Amino acid sequence: MPPRLQSSSSPHRYRRPHPSRPRSQPNGEVHLATQHTTCAADGCARPYSWCELHHGTPWEDGGPTDLDNAVPLCHRHHRMAHDHKYHHTRTPTGTYTFTMRH
């Protein structure tokens, strides 16, 4: 595989790039917005348009980068989802609950 250059211009092995947003199929985000009108965190009223798409199954654990694995979370809840001080659980209705770890 071709080497990629880091900012220091030193070559390193090519790795799968981490996407900032899951790649969408035509009208995919529109479909996701019809499923969630707000942040998917339980009780959060931040509108979908303010949300970031979070990988339901983490990308680093092999989670696919597609809309079936995308969860809209506002900035606050997206940070909490990646903070090891919090545990998050998906409910049967598709919302996420966050609790502090002990």
Express each pLDDT in 19-70 by its tens digit: 444 444 555 566 666 678 999 999 999 999 999 989 888 888 888 888 888 8
In the predicted structure, residue 13 carries a pLDDT above the cut 90: no
Residue 80 confidence (pLDDT) above 60? yes
The two most distant CA atoms of the chain are separated, in Å, by: 47
Residue 38: the pLDDT is 94
Query: What backbone phi and psi angles, to 5 degrees, belong to 67?
Result: -70, -20
Q: For residue 8, what pLDDT is reported?
A: 47
